[in-house]
Amino acid sequence: MSEHVLDRLYEVIDSRKGADPESSYTAKLFAKGQKKIAEKLGEEAVETVIEGVTGDAEKLTAESADLLYHLLVLWSAAGVKPDAVWQELARRQGMSGIEEKARRNT
Ligand SMILES: N=c1c2ncn([C@@H]3O[C@H](COP(=O)(O)OP(=O)(O)OP(=O)(O)O)[C@@H](O)[C@H]3O)c2ncn1[C@@H]1O[C@H](COP(=O)(O)O)[C@@H](O)[C@H]1O
């Protein structure tokens, strides 16, 4: 089992399924459903983009953390395990992005 912070965060997020939405922000998101979680991820992505455009590295760091957290909540809601994503990224290592896109489109 990987010791990456994202793997540990995913486990905490997963453990919040069925928890009290009054005491857990993650449980509150789960209660809203996958579509709302995806929408929230979109909002966080826009906030990250804004900080990317303004160029404030500290705010970009904070927004990136929000973005990754909400992405993991979406994975958990959709039943996507981090290992599946890590494996997909590992599979692409050594392959250029252009080559990878060409393979996807064939
Ligand atoms: N990493 C995070 C994390 N990052 C961001 N957030 C929350 O994401 C929200 C983002 O803020 P926004 O202003 O965009 O949204 P909001 O106005 O608070 O919420 P909305 O009503 O708009 O949905 C804030 O409430 C943050 O607290 C997080 N909430 C939880 N975690 C992790 O998840 C763990 C479990 O949290 P709970 O489920 O709350 O116990 C925590 O220990 C943390 O490690």
In the chain, count of helices (H) and strands (E)? 6, 0
pTM, full prediction: 0.91
* Position 2 pLDDT exceeds 60: no
Q: What distance in angstroms lies between residue 7's CA and the mean position of ligand 1's atoms?
A: 17
Q: For residue 86, is it within any domain?
A: no
**Residue ranges making up the domain that contains 58:** 5-80
- Tell me which residue has its CA closest to atom 10 in ligand 1: 66
Q: Is residue 42 part of a domain?
A: yes
Query: For residues 25 and 104, what is the distance between their CA atoms, to the nearest angstrom?
Result: 36
Q: Which residue has the higher pLDDT, 54 or 94?
A: 54
Encode pLDDT of 10-54 as tens digits: 999 999 999 999 999 999 999 999 999 999 999 999 999 999 999
CATH code, domain with 49: 1.10.287.1080
Q: Is residue 85 in a domain?
A: no
Q: How far is Cα 12 from Cα 84, in angstroms, rounded to an integer?
A: 18
Which ligand 1 atom lies nearest to the CA of residue 65?
4
pLDDT mean over 92-97 = 84
- With a 6 A CB cut-off, is 39 part of the ligand 1 pocket? no
Q: Is 21 inside any structural domain? A: yes
In the chain the first and final C-alpha atoms are separated, in Å, by 34
Domain total of the chain: 1
